[in-house]
Amino acid sequence: MPIEVSIAQDGGIPISPGEQARLVPSLSTRGQLNEVERLRINAARVWAMRGAVLQRGDLLTEAFARELHRRMFGGIWRGAGQYRTTERVPGWEAHRIAEGVRMFLDDAEGWIRFSTYPPHEAAVRLHHRLAAIHPWSNGNGRHARLMADIVVASHGEEPLTWGSGVGAGSARARYVDAIRAADAGEMGPLLGFARG
């Protein structure tokens, strides 16, 4: 997930009081938070990419999505693995989150089962839909990318690269542009970014 590097460039910036209230550990700078999150996300990735996990029959379920978010952000953010309860832009209305997550996970399961899209495309489309819902208070893009990576790995496909071939700053800009294009119905840029 190389685009995380660009997010960490603001390392010396203090954490806002609102964020501080939601944090479990006592951290004071964005750099400290980024490092703690990076370590936790890497541990969750190692867990998720184990053969026993990739062979589970519940990878495209709400329970697994919650478990993954808990593993990624538990011990860092209060409410890890729980859907947000406040309104947020971007994102769906809080009362519709569970419905949307279930619907999009079911869609992805159907796309794969009926070969509607190849695994890479199904995974990237799932990523886009989860990111659009914005179900969590923190970590939506990172969670959606790891969910996509798990889908791809569970089908024995080559891993997605998420822009690793470009510099960190330009990767973030390309990712945001690709998401906007997907929001407008053009999936090509996001598929290209995820694969290249």
Residue type, 67: E
Alpha helices per DSSP H over the chain: 4-7, 17-22, 30-48, 51-54, 62-73, 97-113, 119-133, 140-154, 168-183, 188-195
**Count of the separate structural domains present in the chain:** 1
Longest dimension (CA), the chain: 49
Measured on CA atoms in the order 28, 30, 32, 38, is the torsion positive or negative? positive
> Is the Cβ–Cβ distance between 84 and 117 less than 8 Å?
no
Question: pLDDT tens per residue, the chain (196 residues)?
Answer: 444 433 334 557 888 888 888 898 888 899 999 999 999 999 999 999 999 999 999 999 999 999 999 999 999 999 999 999 999 999 999 999 999 999 999 999 999 999 999 999 999 999 999 999 999 999 999 999 999 999 999 999 999 999 987 776 789 899 999 999 999 999 999 999 999 8
Structural domain boundaries enclosing 34: 4-195
Q: Domain holding 51: CATH number?
A: 1.10.3290.10
Regarding pTM above 0.95, the answer is no
Task: Report the distance separating Cα 45 and Cα 145, nearest Å.
Answer: 11
Task: Report the distance separating Cα 128 and Cα 186, nearest Å.
Answer: 11
The strand pairing partners of 14, in sequence order, are 29
Nearest one of 104, 108, 34, 40 to 68, comparing CA atoms: 40
> Is the Cβ–Cβ distance between 25 and 188 less than 8 Å?
no
